[in-house]
Structure 1
Amino acid sequence: MSTNHEEKIRQIILTHINVGRIKSRESTTLEFKESFNMRNVAMYAKIMASYANNCGGYIIFGVKDRPRNLVGLSNDKFDNLDQAKFTEAINALFAPALEWECGMLQVEIAERDKAGELGSVQKKIGWIYTVEAEQKPVVAQKENEGEKITSGDVFYRYRARTQKIRYAEMAMIIESRIVKEWKRMFRLLEVIRKSETANIGIVNYTNGRVTTPYGIDVELDRKLVAKVLRRAKFIKEGVFNEIEGAPVIKVTGNIDLAEEVPVPEGDPDITHPYIQKQLAEKLDINVQVLYALIWYYKMKGEKKYHLEITTSKSGAVHKFSEFSFRYLQDQLKKFRETPKVLDKILDEYKSYKRKMIKS
Structure 2
Amino acid sequence: MAKRSITDEEIGLIKAMLARGMANKDIQFYFNRQDRAVNSGRITGIRDRSYGPEVPKAGDDALAAFIASFTAPPLAAPGLVVEAAPPTPPGVTDERVLRSFFTKDAEGVWRCSPGETDEFECKEGFSLRNFGKPLRTIAGFANNRGGYLFFGVKDKPHGFAVCGLADDRFTSTDQNKFSQVIRSVLEPTPRFRVASLKLDGLTVGVIHVEPHSAKPVIASRTEGEVAEGAIYFRYPGETKAICYADLRAILDERDQRSREAILPMVQRLLELGPKDAMVANLADGQLEGGDRPIIIDQQLVDRIKFIRDGEFDEREGAETLRLVGDVSAVDLSSVTTVKTVRTEVTEESIVRNFVGRVVVEEPLAYVRQASHEQSFLLPVFYYLHLAGQTRSEAIAVLRAHRNAKPNTVKEIIRRLQRQKTMFVKAGGMRLKRLNQIRERAVGQIVTTARAKEVMDAMTGLQEADADVFGYANELVGQCLEFWAEDRNLVTYIRKAASRLDELTYGPLVPE
Q: TM-score, normalising length from structure 2?
A: 0.45
Structure 2 counterparts to residues 263-302 of structure 1, below 5 A: 263=340, 272=346, 274=348, 287-290=374-377, 293=380, 297=384
Taking a change above 3 Å as real, the CA distance of residues 338 and 176 of structure 1, as seen in their structure-2 partners, is: closer
Match of 1:117 in 2: none
2:210 corresponds in structure 1 to: 131
The answer to which structure has the higher helix fraction is 2
Identity %: 20
TM alignment of 1:311-322, pairs within 5 A: none
Pick from 100, 124, 130 the counterpart of residue 11 of structure 1. 100
Contact kept? 1:62, 1:124, Cα under 8 Å: yes
Find the residue that maps to 2:100 and give its secondary structure.
helix
Change in CA separation of 1:290 and 1:299 when aligned onto 2, cut-off 3 Å: farther
Q: Residue deviations 1:162-215, cap 9 Å, x none?
A: 1000000000000000110011113435777999x993322335464623xxxx
Note closer, same or farther for the CA distance 1:17–1:80 as it changes in structure 2 (3 Å cut): farther
1:155 is matched with 232
The structure carrying a bigger strand percent of its residues is 1
CA contact (8 A) 2:188 2:214 kept: yes
Gaps of 5+ in 2: 1-89, 311-321, 328-335, 351-365, 388-402, 405-479, 481-489
Corresponding residue SS for 1:19 = coil
Q: Which residue of 1 aligns with 2:136?
A: 46
Query: Are positions 1:97 and 2:167 aligned together?
Result: no
Specify the SS of the correspondent of 1:31. strand
CA RMSD of superposed structures (Å): 4.6
SS at match of 2:338: coil
* In 2: Cα distance, 1:42 partner to 1:201 partner: 48
Q: SS at the partner of 1:126? A: strand
Cα distance in 2 between the residues matched to 1:188 and 1:181 = 11
Partner residue in 2 for 1:333 = 500
Cα distance per residue 1:65-99 (max 9 Å; x no partner): 12022111221111111221221111110100111
Pair member with larger Rg: 2
Q: Give the 3-state SS of the residue equivalent to 2:98 in structure 1.
A: helix
CA distance in 1, matches of 2:206, 2:140: 16
**Structure 2 CA distance for partners of 1:7 and 1:202, relative to 1, 3 Å:** same
Rounded Cα–Cα distance in structure 2 between residues aligned with 1:245 and 1:81: 50
Q: Structure 1 7/141 Cα, relative in aligned 2: closer, same or farther at 3 Å? A: same
Secondary structure at the residue paired with 1:125? strand
Unpaired stretches in structure 1, ≥5 consecutive residues: 109-121, 212-216, 250-258, 301-314, 317-321, 349-359
1:73 equivalent to 2:150? Answer no
Question: Which residue does 1:82 correspond to in 2?
Answer: 174
* Aligned-partner Cα distance in 1 for 2:386–2:210: 29
Whether the 8 Å contact between 2:305 and 2:324 is mirrored in structure 1 is: no
Query: Match of 1:136, SS?
Result: coil
User: Equivalent residue of 2:265, what SS?
Assistant: helix
- Aligned in 2, Cα 1:133/1:4: closer, same or farther, shift over 3 Å? closer
Aligned to 1:218: 291
Q: 1:19 to 1:191 in 2, by over 3 A?
A: farther
2: CA distance, partners of 1:203 / 1:245: 15
* Structure-2 residue corresponding to 1:106: 198
Rounded to whole Å, the distance in 2 between the matches of 1:46 and 1:53 is 11
Instruction: Tell me: CA distance 1:230–1:288, structure 2 relative to 1, closer, same or farther (3 Å).
Output: same
The correspondence of residues 210-249 of structure 1 with structure 2, limited to 5 A, is 210-211=288-289, 217-218=290-291, 220=293, 225-227=295-297, 230-231=299-300, 233-237=303-307, 247=325
Whether the 8 Å contact between 1:42 and 1:90 is mirrored in structure 2 is: no
Cross-structure match for 1:214: none
Letter aligned with residue 263 of structure 2: F
The whole-number CA distance in structure 2 between the counterparts of 1:209 and 1:4 is 42
Q: 1:238 to 1:131 in 2, by over 3 A?
A: closer
Counterpart-to-counterpart distance in 2, 1:99 and 1:299 = 32
Name which of 188, 191, 205 aligns with 2:265: 188
How many equivalent pairs are there?
278
Matched to 2:209, the amino acid is: T
